Amino acid sequence: MVATFAGAEETGAQEPQTLAEAVVEDTTAEEAVLTEEVVPVFVSEEVVQELPVEAAPEYSGNVPAAANSLRELVSGMSAPEELSDEMRCLAGAVYFESRGEPLAGQLAVAQVVINRAESSRFPSSYCGVVYQRAQFSFVRGGSMPRIKTGSEAWQRAKKIARIAHQGLWDSEAQDSLYFHATYVSPRWAHKKTRRAAIKTHIFYR
C-alpha cells in the first residue's frame, strides 16, 4: 500500500490492487524542504502477502527526558547517521510519503507502517510493508529512489521514524492501516473507520 516534485508530492497507503488517482499537493516551507523525487501512486484492493516474521531492530540514541509537544521532542532528538535496514524502510516511507506534511502527519504515516507490520493482514516487518507489491509506488524495481541524505527533511524523517518505532509520542492515526489524500475519493474509503484527518491526509482503520 513517475512524476517530479515542484514543491509538492502525492501520498497514500491504501487497500491493494486498483490504481488510485494521483494529485500534486502543496507543501509548507516550515515543515519540509522538498526536493525533486519520484512521486508515489497507490492502488486499492485487498492483498494479503505473508512474509517471514522479522523483528524491527531497536533504535539507539539520546531521547529527551520530557517534551511538551511533538515539535519539542523532534527538536531535542538525535538522528544517527547509520540506520538498520528496517529503520531505513520506516524513515524512507515518512520521507517519500509525507515530508511536506506537519510533524503529526509524518508521525501518522510512520504509525500506519508500524500498524501494518503488526497486523496479520500485511507483511510482518517494516521493509515487508514498504516493499509490498502495489502499495507504495515510490518503490521502483524493488528499491527506493535516491534520498537526499543531507537534507533537513531526511534528518527529520529519521527522528520521526525513531519516535514512532519506540512509541515516544501517541499518533493521531491510532490503529490506522490505510490513508489517502484529501483530494481523492477511493472506493474503499466508505468501508473503513476514519481515525484522523491531518492536513492533506485522511487515515482509516
Concatenate the DSSP letters of all residues of 44-106 into one string.
-S---------PPPP--S---S--SSHHHHHHTS---S---HHHHHHHHHHHHHHTTS-HHHH
Domain boundaries, the chain: 12-204
Q: Which residue has the higher pLDDT, 18 or 189?
A: 189
Average the pLDDT over 175-199 and give the result.
94
Could you say which architecture CATH assigns to the domain 12-204?
Orthogonal Bundle (1.10)
Band (109; pLDDT cuts 50, 70, 90):
very high
Share of the chain above pLDDT 70, in %: 68
Average pLDDT over residues 1-24: 44
- Sheet containing 201-204: which strands, arranged edge to edge? 12-13, 178-181, 201-204, 194-198
In this predicted model, what pLDDT tens digit does every residue of 123-136 receive, in sequence order?
A: 999 999 999 988 88
Query: In residues, how long is the chain?
Result: 205
Mean pLDDT of the 113-121 span: 97
CA within 13 Å, CB half, 179: 34
Distance CA 178, CA 134 (A): 14
- Mean pLDDT confidence for 96-116: 97
Nearest to 203 by CA among 1, 7, 18, 14: 14
In the prediction, which pLDDT does 63 show?
A: 67
